Structure 1
Amino acid sequence: MIKDNKDIQQTLEKAETVAMIGCSPNIHRTSNYAARFLQERGYRVIPVNPEVNEIYGEKSYDQLTDIPSDIQIDIVNVFRNSKYTADAVRDTSKWKKQTGQNPVIWTQLDVSSTEAEKIAVEHELHYIKNKCIMVEWDRNFK
C-alpha cells in the first residue's frame, strides 16, 4: 500500500500512461474532467468503458485486459463505485500476469474497499487508497 506523499509524487513523476476504469464521455462527470486534466499535463489516458468507442482521441476498451499488451500501463485509476473496485483489482492482477507489467492501482476518493485492498496485497500490487489524482498532482507539482 502506498501511503507516503513521497511515493505518490514518485508514482506521478514516473508515470506516462494511465488506464482510467470508469472514464466517462460526459463532460459533467469528474472522471471526464480528470482524464482531460491528466492529458493536459502530458499523460496518456486510456479509457476503460464498454459504453463508448473513444474519449479525447483515445480508443476506449471494454475492460483493462483488452488493452494491447504492448501498451505500458503505469497507473490503473479506478473511477467507479466501490462495489466494483475489487473486480478492478482482479483485472489488474490478470493484466499483470498477462503482460508482466505491475501498474499502481489508484482508487479515487471513496472508491477503495477492504476486499480490493486485500486482493492488491495478495497479488503484490501497489495500491493508493482514496486519493484524488488531480488533488495529488496539484499538491506535488503546482
Structure 2
Amino acid sequence: MATSREVELLLGSRTIAVVGLSKDPSKESFSVSQYLKEQGYRIIPVNPTASEILGERAYPSLLEIPAEEARRIEVVDVFRPSEQVPPIVEQAIQLRKADGANPKMIWMQLGIENPAAAEAARRAGMAVVQNLCVRTEHRRVAHAQRRV
C-alpha cells in the first residue's frame, strides 16, 4: 500500500508519463493507462516502437518529450523490468533538474522494484512507489473517499 503522501501526490497530479505503455490492448500497461485516462489524467506514452497510443502521441524516451510537455509531467509510471529502471529514473532526474519541480514521483508498477534507482530518485527530491499497481491504489482511495 502506498503512503497517504504518495497517494495525495497521485490524486493531485494531472499528467502521467507511462514508460513502457504497450500498443496491445491485452497488456496491463494499456488497460491501466486507459483507466487513468478515463479518470481524467493526461497520459504521455513512452514507447520507442509506437507513434500513438490511446489517442496520444508516443515518444521514444522521457528525454524526447518536448520541453513544454515534459514540464507538465508530475508522475512517471514505469512498466519496464526492474533492471531497466535506473536509466528511466536518470531521465526523470534530468527532467526534474531542467524544470525544478517536475516530475514529483516515480511509480514502479506491481512486480517492479529497484532499490538503487528508488534511492537516486529520492535524493533528487521525488517520491517513490515500488511494486504497486497505480490503478489498484487509485481505486482503493477513490472507494474509501466515497464511503466518507
Q: TM-score normalized by structure 2? A: 0.89
- Asked if 1 retains the 8 angstrom alpha-carbon contact of 2:14 and 2:40, the reply is yes
2:52 is the counterpart of 1:54: yes
- Asked if 2 retains the 8 angstrom alpha-carbon contact of 1:73 and 1:101, the reply is no
Equivalenced residue count is: 140
The equivalent residue for 2:116 is: 115
The equivalent residue for 2:89 is: 89
The equivalent residue for 1:20 is: 18
SS of alignment partner, residue 88 of structure 1: helix
Task: Give the Cα–Cα distance (whole angstroms) in 2 for the partners of residues 64 and 139 of structure 1.
Answer: 29
**Contiguous gaps of at least 5 residues in structure 1:** none
Aligned AA for 1:51?
T
The equivalent residue for 2:146 is: none
Deviations 1:85-124 (A, max 9, x none): 1111111001112222332111111212122112113322
Aligned AA for 1:90?
E
CA shift, 1:62, in A, is 0.6
Aligned CA-pair RMSD: 1.5
Task: Give the Cα–Cα distance (whole angstroms) in 2 for the partners of residues 81 and 50 of structure 1.
Answer: 15
- Asked if 1 retains the 8 angstrom alpha-carbon contact of 2:2 and 2:137, the reply is no
Q: Which runs of 4+ in 1 moved over 3 A?
A: none
Task: Give the Cα–Cα distance (whole angstroms) in 2 for the partners of residues 124 and 57 of structure 1.
Answer: 31
Task: Give the Cα–Cα distance (whole angstroms) in 2 for the partners of residues 87 and 124 of structure 1.
Answer: 17
Deviations 1:31-57 (A, max 9, x none): 000110101110011100010000011
Task: Give the Cα–Cα distance (whole angstroms) in 1 for the partners of residues 101 and 66 of structure 2.
Answer: 12
SS of alignment partner, residue 29 of structure 2: helix
**Contiguous gaps of at least 5 residues in structure 2:** 144-148
CA shift, 1:3, in A, is 4.7
The equivalent residue for 1:76 is: 76
CA shift, 1:73, in A, is 0.5
Task: Give the Cα–Cα distance (whole angstroms) in 1 for the partners of residues 96 and 136 of structure 2.
Answer: 27
